[in-house]
A = this chain, B = another copy of it.
Amino acid sequence: MHISELDTPSVVVDLDVLERNLDRMAAYSAKAGIKLRPHIKTHKTPELALRQVALGAVGIAAAKPGEAAIMAAAGLDDIFIAYPIVAPHKAEAFLALSDTARLSISVDSLEAAECMAKASDARGYDLPILVELDVGFGRCGVQNASAAIELAQQIEKLPGAHFGGLMYYPGHMMVPIEQQNIFLPRVNAAVESAYEAITKAGLTVPVVSGGSTPMAYRSEEFSHLTEIRPGMYLLNDRNLVVGGFAALEECALSVITTVVSNAVPNRVIHDGGSKTFSSDRLLTGDHIGHGLVLQDSDAIFYGLSEEHGHLDVTKSTRTYRLGERLRILPNHVCATINMHDTLYGVRGDQVETVWTVAARGRVQ
A233 to B259, CA, bound (A): 30
Residue A143 at the B interface, CB < 8 A?
yes
The answer to whether A7 touches B89, judged by C-beta atoms less than 8 angstroms apart, is yes
Whether B139 and A310, one on each chain, are in contact in the complex, defined by CB atoms closer than 8 angstroms, is yes
How many copies of this chain are found per oligomer? 2
The residues in A between 287 and 343 inclusive whose CB is less than 8 angstroms from any CB of B are 303, 305-308, 310, 322-323, 334-335, 338-342
For A2-28 the 0/1 string (1 means CB < 8 A from B) is: 000001111000000000000000000
- Contact A260 B84, beta carbon cutoff 8 Å: yes
- With an 8 A cutoff between CB atoms, is A102 at the interface? no
Chain B positions within 8 Å of A259 at CB level: 86
Contact indicator B264/A143 (Cβ below 8 Å): yes
Main DSSP-derived SS at the A contact region: loop
CB-CB nearest in chain B for A267: B138
User: Given the complex of chains A and B, what is the CA–CA distance between A280 and B274 in angstroms?
Assistant: 8
Q: With A86-B322, A361-B341 known to touch, is A308 a contact of B140 (CB < 8 Å)?
A: yes
In contact, B335 and A274 (Cβ under 8 angstroms): yes
- Residues of B within 8 Å of A267, CB to CB, are 138-139
Q: Is A118 an interface residue (CB 8 A)?
A: no
Between A and B, 10 residue pairs with Cβ closer than 8 Å are A86-B260, A86-B323, A87-B258, A132-B263, A139-B267, A141-B263, A274-B280, A275-B335, A340-B363, A342-B363
